[in-house]
Structure 1
């Protein structure tokens, strides 16, 4: 084992976009049903820490002027509009119950995939991580694109915890889980994952 390892396994848990603006009921851009998975995401984080896995928090933090936002989101930033998940805003903070600890790692993204134009890949390589477990929102966008990039990058195993991820509707969620399973991604329930050895 390399001297610079900070965990006792080769697995990282990626927690994607579990932020107030995407989850709270009073947010104009909330994902319906997203709050329902918060307890399971909390349990997944707790179990990952118990096993000594690296916990990686993948978040959106946009420039308040919207200069790094996807084109389709830019109207949210025009003329004093909402400015969702702007850096330093309450909306960009983690939802209650999820806390980034000093030993965790945080990745800021401005696109769907956690790998796109971030240092996630170099961090994971440096930590000798070759197994990824993914939780968060939402399944057809950030979850799916991150997972497909991980598959393309030849991670040894990629797992999506099926009841610690969510989409706008159960049907959309199920269809995307089906597609990911077809490229070799594991999709256990939280209970099944917690009972597994890695």
Structure 2
């Protein structure tokens, strides 16, 4: 499905220090390598005055808000993306220089916070960014109907988010080099539900032309 670039937004999923940096407490292999590619795309969106939405996970230390498969691991002391920890923060390279500080406790209440003129951050309690969040209402209010999905890591959160967005009739695109742990069969499956698979150069041209 063709994108409406003048009504598009970039979604950056789970690019937090614990997941995306090799020294993180729950590092996902290959994620640090996609940071630069995501940074390039984020800058393209900002230059074209289009939203960049950072989606983050936050796990309370008692595991009470974690996925069922992770509750016990966290309860036993596997601390990761704990609110207000450095590991929970968005990778610095993916934020604009004028980004404001944000409070994790405000994110946990469902608020979508503005960090800079074109950057926003939201918390998701499960794999998909639309599950029990205010994201769909926010996108509708912002007149967004096309999404470029990037981030960490494809088998879990980006893939789930893409299918959730497809269910809601969003026009979708990915740049494979901007999603960690992606693989050829997964790309083919996304093409099968109408996701546009683009290269950086094509994305840049499309944004500049603004269809």
* Structures share fold, TM-score greater than 0.5: yes
Secondary structure at the counterpart of residue 155 of structure 2? helix
Shift of 1:191: 2.4
Instruction: Give the corresponding residue for 2:187.
Output: 177
The reply to whether residue 159 of structure 1 matches residue 173 of structure 2 is yes
Tell me which of 79, 85, 91 is aligned to 2:87: 91
Counterpart CA distance in 2 for 1:14 and 1:175 is 22
Counterpart CA distance in 2 for 1:193 and 1:137 is 20
Shift of 1:28: 4.2
Counterpart CA distance in 2 for 1:190 and 1:65 is 41
The reply to whether residue 26 of structure 1 matches residue 36 of structure 2 is no
**TM-score, normalization by structure 2:** 0.82
Kindly tell me the number of residue pairs found equivalent between the two proteins: 185
Shift of 1:22: 0.6
CA contact (8 A) 1:9 1:52 kept: no
Q: String of CA shifts for 1:106-161, please: whole Å, max 9, x gaps.
A: 11012110000110000000001011111111112111111111111011x20011
Shift of 1:92: 0.6
CA contact (8 A) 1:10 1:129 kept: yes
Counterpart CA distance in 2 for 1:194 and 1:64 is 41
The reply to whether residue 115 of structure 1 matches residue 112 of structure 2 is no
Structure 2: give runs of 5+ residues left out of the alignment.
100-114
CA contact (8 A) 2:61 2:75 kept: no
Structure 1: give runs of 5+ residues left out of the alignment.
1-7
Instruction: Give the corresponding residue for 1:128.
Output: 143
Shift of 1:173: 2.2
The reply to whether residue 193 of structure 1 matches residue 207 of structure 2 is no
Q: CA RMSD in A?
A: 1.6
CA contact (8 A) 1:162 1:190 kept: no
